[in-house]
Chains A and B, each alone.
Chain A
């Protein structure tokens, strides 16, 4: 149907602890098509950020990829030399991080921070790069863009800083923009501005976007497809409408039921999921969600479920659950 841009296969990440390596990400399979927006949803510690950081080898100390491949435009990102990797970082893949307050260098003017990747990746002259930087700031909707090039980060508001971060991420016209909770630190009216901006830019520039978030409501209006992560595995992967209309994994159902709605009836109680996610190194033997799952069977406690198409081979809706069919019947 459409062309694969990124295909991650069987990716595992482990952390070194005193008791030896502990798995944080356990055999993740996911892909991004050209021009597609993929939402990666999960709670803190589920490995959603680490998965994306591992692609460009930006993992923190003591954390390393232990297995897997990540084909990006035909090449395995995990096998690149450091020189090839630098071309990819910021060049082919742009990053926007969560905290716009700390992700910008406070002692550099934002113009310089924008120009830097252009000089490096595009080998532009300084004057060209500066002109392009001005265009980029206009593109992300910063008023008085040319004058703003000489501002320092602290002179901008949080929303404006996040726009600058996006401009830096877009500077080299990447094929893939990875946004890691870019609106979590922002107010809701500013969040709406940023979401609209990214939607608009995607349409205009035709790039693919991976948007990492914990907020299902936010991603509903933004993504084409959603991967739900739990304890370092993909538990469900489906086109956005299908995921919300017909969630097949008990965890996805639990998440959807636990968010209060703006429209629905006044429910007396929220359906919360009991318990807490497993810590790395204390993963249960079978399905990682089994200890919290209301529908868990014997097989769930012993055998790890595979990520499989929901009904037959043709649907793009995949779920990793032994009892998925029963979950759908119960709905």
Chain B
């Protein structure tokens, strides 16, 4: 049977319709700054992944004949006071930065999303407890917290590892670098999760009461369908934006902690401890400071512009 329309059907103005994601991608690709940022991040990521094949020298190999060299053909970024190739060390520093940023942001975002969603969805006492945790964490100065965790947990952990090595002779326990990374990851994730939790909680709270969720309930749709097709897709945009900005933030934090000596410790190259070393001799050998600092700056600026670009691309209402 054919339907009898109430009035003549309104013709769609144009048929070419794109999905919101593709639409967002189009908008993002029109944003020159965001595209440039994406390119910078992609190059840095490739450098991080293929670092071992790109470095002309071992990042640890010292050449005492060639100390504090200015940039030249053999050493594009020069050498440091131990005669190590700065270019190779910056490349390894990129690895460190990316590993720390991705793992830390991954842990923090997962923790935050789960706790935030639980708090937002169930409300009541659970909500209050989670929010109390975020408030408490955010009210303690970040650096102080990390310093306290490192100072109090590192010696016992190192001792524990040594004792285990004595007992088992398992070479795994001889490597104290693991302690470094675990502590850096753990403490940074601990200070970085609350913003994600707050964001997701706010999203869930507002979306749960959106008329379209009520409309979906009125249609008799089940809770899992409502959560998976209505709540999550509508809260994912801000999360992507937050994660993009968070990656840059995590890199800066890692460098800051390494700079202060509570992060990744030498001899593992990190931009932060390279900047710290370079700062002491910058009057005579400015390249030692400039190389890691410029790369760090480039990376964080790129992440922050990408975050901005994503924000505009994923919120068509704001840009229209």
Contacts and interface: CB of A to CB of B under 8 A. Distances in A.
Contacts of A275: 10
Contacts of A282: 13
* Consensus secondary structure, chain A interface: loop
Nearest to A274: B7
Interface in A265-282: 272, 274-276, 282
B8 interface: yes
Contacts of A272: 7
Q: Which size class do A's interface residues fall under?
A: under 10
A24 to B, nearest CB: 15
B8 to A, nearest CB: 6
Nearest to B7: A274
A79 to B, nearest CB: 32
B10 A276 contact: yes
Contacts of A276: 10
Contacts of B8: 274
B148 to A, nearest CB: 39
A282 B7 CA distance: 23
Contacts of A274: 7-8
Interface string B123-144: 0000000000000000000000
B23 to A, nearest CB: 13
Interface in A210-251: none
Interface string A74-91: 000000000000000000
A13 to B, nearest CB: 18
A264 to B, nearest CB: 22
Nearest to A279: B13
Interface in A43-83: none
A274 B10 CA distance: 9
A52 B283 CA distance: 63
A113 B7 CA distance: 50
Nearest to A17: B320
Contacts of B7: 272, 274
Interface string B1-44: 00000011010010000000000000000000000000000000
Interface in B222-273: none
B137 to A, nearest CB: 30
A276 B7 CA distance: 13
Contacts of B10: 275-276
A272 B10 CA distance: 14
Nearest to A18: B30
A314 to B, nearest CB: 41
A282 B13 CA distance: 11
A272 B8 CA distance: 12
A275 B10 CA distance: 7
A272 B6 CA distance: 11
A103 B167 CA distance: 74
A171 B13 CA distance: 48
Interface in A171-199: none
Nearest to B27: A18
A269 to B, nearest CB: 10
A274 B8 CA distance: 8
Nearest to B8: A274
Contacts of B13: 282
Interface in A93-130: none
Interface in A298-327: none
Nearest to B13: A282
Nearest to A272: B7
B318 to A, nearest CB: 12
A323 B309 CA distance: 51
B170 to A, nearest CB: 63
B13 to A, nearest CB: 8
A86 to B, nearest CB: 31
A163 B10 CA distance: 42
A77 B150 CA distance: 67
Interface in B154-172: none
B29 to A, nearest CB: 14
Interface in A249-294: 272, 274-276, 282
A292 to B, nearest CB: 11
A276 B10 CA distance: 9
Nearest to A273: B7
Nearest to B11: A275
Nearest to A275: B10
A291 to B, nearest CB: 11
B34 to A, nearest CB: 16
A275 B9 CA distance: 9
Interface string B165-191: 000000000000000000000000000
Interface of A: 272, 274-276, 282
Top 6 A-B pairs, shortest CB-CB distance: A274-B7, A274-B8, A275-B10, A272-B7, A276-B10, A282-B13
6 contacts: A272-B7, A274-B7, A274-B8, A275-B10, A276-B10, A282-B13
